[in-house]
Amino acid sequence: MPHRTFFVFIFPSILAMVLFITLPILSVVVQSLFVQHEAVLITVENCTPFGCETQTRVDTAAMQKLQADQPMGQFAGFANYLNRNHLAVDEIGAILADNRGFGDVAARIFNLPFYKALSFTLVYCFLVTPLAMALGFAIALAVNTLPGLLKGPTIFVSILPMIITPLVGSLILAWMFNPSGILGATLQSLTGDPTLSLRASPVLTWIVLLVYGVWTNGPFSFVVFYAGLQTVPQDTVESAKIDGASRWEVTRHVIMPHLAPLATFVALVQLMDNFRVFEPIVGFSAEANATSLSWLVFNDLVGQDAQLFGSAASTSVITIVGVLILLTPVLRRTWREFNRKAV
Amino acid sequence: MKITRTFAAGAVSLAALLSASAAFADCGIQGAGSVRILSNDFEALRIINDVATSCATADVKVTANATAEHKNIQGPALTVNPAEYTVAVVANNSIVPLLNGDLIRPLDDLVAKYGASLQPNQLIKIDGKVMAIAFMGNGQHLFYRKDILEKAGVAVPTSYEEMLAAAQAIKDAGLMDYPLAASDKPGWDLAAEFVNMYLGTGGEFFAPGSAELAIDNDQGRKVLETMRAMTGFMNPDYLTYDANELNKVWDAGNVALMNQWGSLAGAAIDPAKANPEVAANTGFAAAPTIGGGTIPAAALWWDGFTIAKNISDADAEVSFQAMVKGISPETVAAHPDAATWLVAGYQPGPTAVGVIGNATGGARAYPMQPYMGLLHTALSTELADFIAGKEDADQALADVKAAYDAAAKEGGFLK
């Protein structure tokens, strides 16, 4: 294809990507470098139905002048990234300089909101991704052996968790895990512990969130792997069987190598998705025990009285950098394979 | 505000209800224009919106959007010119961003022209100018189960210390395992619990005239200690309870004492929706005091309406008139139990006992400082570890200060 034709074909997509992906990300990056203008405070008397009080308020006239001169606010460089609510460079330095051993360092670092969120985000990412892929692969293998009549309904049921809106899905599971819900009550009677609550302790909360993650992400792997299974060369499978390979050996030595490129693709997408984990934390009301980077952004912007745009923007940029770091090994491998094929 | 007139009020309201629908046919709004209302979503506000909407004529168009997301919408919606909404219904906290952004107009002229039915205490004055018209009060106050307290042989608690003793008595009597509940879910609710109790100690949140945080003191520690002690009598799931969830566990009959919003008191004893056994035994009282304090440990809230700045004067005039009609004494007479009204002629009903008790007991209003929202946010995330029992009070207060300082620097309030 001549370069010119290729360019004409691809131009609409590039335009859309620049408009809807690149420019917004750039604006977030710019936003993250600014803090708001220094507030001009005046003391005034406020009267409400419950009496009068002397309180400070913002001098709006003075602020408007500042705003007109510099609409973006004050340039702060990387201050938003380095402050206590994000990378907390000074705090980490202080902790490392003066501590009582490794346990103390870890406890104090995970007390900082960013690292607390990061720890759950990473654990979720690295446990849910492989487990969900394994589950999806197992379902795909199982469905593939079903007789034709049963396949359709089974596939439909298997991909239900993916069809359900994540927030709704997590709410459904949250109610089931409630001590008066079906799963919560069953667990209480099985363990004989009437006070057992999966939402009360950090460890149990994490486990529930991870189970939810595997449940909701499994179907995606299943769909992709199931499609892949249809392309496995049957003559190779048959010859392996004639050579006396067991079902496991066929799976291990024929099917898995065949699906490896697909697995890379699934891992890529799932890592990206899971790094942005958010809905289950809200759905399960798990904010006390588990937070994630996306939740930090949400908390800066929504549901509170004051919005912190610079803070939210810097967390977003850190999330993007995190996704890039996570994807580097997978992307490098794809690139190498691409080069090998090209040669 | 006398509570003894409860029964008379009930009779009056019934009569008013029958005549209400006809009374609103013509609101007599002068001028022409458009009224666009943005409000939070609860019963009292829906009633006001409905009355205002019924004022629509050929010259006056009225629309209303009642949504729990109003706080997130109002800033951008009132910044554009002309503003998306002409009326923003706000409370102590949500008016602050509108004031900071200079998005609402002074109402003195409009009050003089159309505000004959308003009472002086309804006018919210900021620096001498009327910026909002309040119409109802709200706040968290005590909900108690008469039957359980009676069986345990304890009186209705008037302080947090008595509340803990009562919880112990109820537990010892084998009546309930988890007699207490509070909206301790990390987020807005948890922070509100702290703010309520801290106000009750008489402490100040900030150093006078500045944004410097001042809660790292004995009062702050007393509040945290009390919050922690309460969790000992709560369902292990207490970290997942917000205010709406509280009403559900109350309705299920699982709790004997809790502090809950006055605006949800009606739902707790609503004969159509509530569990009849629980509703019959539900009583309301002022919020308890704390640490030997003399005032109820709960913030007083007002709900009121503001008029956008970036709209035409004609729209502002009709909007003001429609809202004054919406909060008129006739509306209140027709719906006396929907809220603790601040409107002339209101006869408090049984659900208003708590909020009125808070007000007459001298409870303090939720602070309106421009940086209070940042403190609320810092409390909402940093108290999570403490209330979960993972860190001590000193650490929690230090964390709150560190988080608040970082946010206040970003917000331009601290250097």
Chain B CB within 8 Å of residue A84 CB: yes
Radius of gyration of chain A, Cα coordinates, nearest whole angstrom = 26
- Which pLDDT value is given to residue A334? 77
Rounded to two decimals, what is the model's pTM? 0.84
- Which pLDDT value is given to residue A279? 92
| Amino acid letter for position A292 | S
The CA dihedral of B307, B309, B315, B316, to the nearest 10 degrees, is 40
| Residue whose C-alpha is closest to residue B290's, from B231, B227, B248 | B227
CATH class of A114-342: mainly alpha
Under a CB-based contact definition with an 8 Å cutoff, are residues B318 and B34 in contact? yes
What letter would DSSP give residue A94?
H
- Asked whether the CA dihedral B27, B32, B34, B39 is positive or negative, the reply is negative
How far, in Å, CA of A281 to CA of A173, rounded? 12
| Residue whose C-alpha is closest to residue A272's, from A129, A68, A64, A75 | A129
| Residue whose C-alpha is closest to residue B229's, from B160, B146, B305 | B160
Locus of tokens 């009546």: B175
What φ, ψ does residue A35 adopt, rounded to 5°? -120, 170
B188 → closest Cβ in A49, A113, A303: A303
| Residue whose C-alpha is closest to residue A295's, from A305, A306, A284 | A284
pLDDT in tens, B259-313: 999 988 888 888 888 999 999 999 999 999 999 899 999 999 999 999 999 999 9
Write the DSSP string, A177-234: HSTTSHHHHHHHHHHT-TT--TTTSHHHHHHHHHHHHHHHHHHHHHHHHHHHHTTS-H
- Which pLDDT value is given to residue B79? 92
Strand B140-145 vs strand B282-285: parallel, antiparallel, or unpaired? antiparallel
**Cβ count near B143 (within 10 Å):** 26
- Which pLDDT value is given to residue A305? 67
Yes or no: is domain B140-298+371-410 CATH 3.40.190.10? yes
* A143, burial (CB in 10 Å: exposed 0-12, middle 13-18, buried 19+): middle
Cβ distance of A311 and B407 shorter than 8 Å: yes
**The domains spanning B3-138+300-360 and B140-298+371-410 adopt the same CATH topology:** yes
Cβ distance of B242 and A43 shorter than 8 Å: no
Strand B87-91 vs strand B282-285: parallel, antiparallel, or unpaired? unpaired
Cα distances from A288 to residues A124, A203, B249, B259, B378, in angstroms, run 16, 12, 20, 21, 14
Tokens of B51: 């009355």
Q: Which residues pair with B144 in a beta bridge?
A: B257, B283
pLDDT in tens, A9-18: 999 999 999 9
- Which pLDDT value is given to residue B322? 94
Cβ distance of B413 and A37 shorter than 8 Å: no
ipTM: 0.80
B127 → closest Cβ in A41, A44, A310: A44
Chain B CB within 8 Å of residue A184 CB: no
> Cis peptide leading into B367, omega within 30 of 0?
no
Which residues of chain B fall below pLDDT 70?
1-26
- Which pLDDT value is given to residue A2? 81
3-state helix, strand and coil shares in percent for chain B, rounded to the nearest 5: 45, 15, 35
Write the DSSP string, A316-333: HHHHHHHHHHHHHHHHHH
How far, in Å, CA of B142 to CA of B159, rounded? 10
- Which pLDDT value is given to residue A342? 62
| Residue whose C-alpha is closest to residue B141's, from B227, B231, B263, B273 | B263
**Cβ count near A24 (within 10 Å):** 11
Tokens of A171: 């709410």
CB interface of B with A, residues 349-378, below 8 Å? 359, 363-365, 367-374, 376-377
pLDDT in tens, B332-352: 999 888 889 999 888 888 889
Cβ distance of A41 and B211 shorter than 8 Å: yes
| Successive 10-residue mean pLDDT values, chain A, 343 residues | 87 94 94 88 86 85 85 87 90 88 87 92 95 95 89 90 90 86 87 78 88 93 94 91 90 91 90 92 87 91 76 93 88 80 62
Break chain B into its structural domains and give their ranges: 3-138+300-360, 140-298+371-410
CATH tag for B3-138+300-360 (out of 1.20.58.100, 3.40.190.10, 3.30.420.10, 3.40.50.12780): 3.40.190.10
- Which pLDDT value is given to residue B389? 86
What distance in Å separates residue A63's CA from the closest CA in chain B? 9
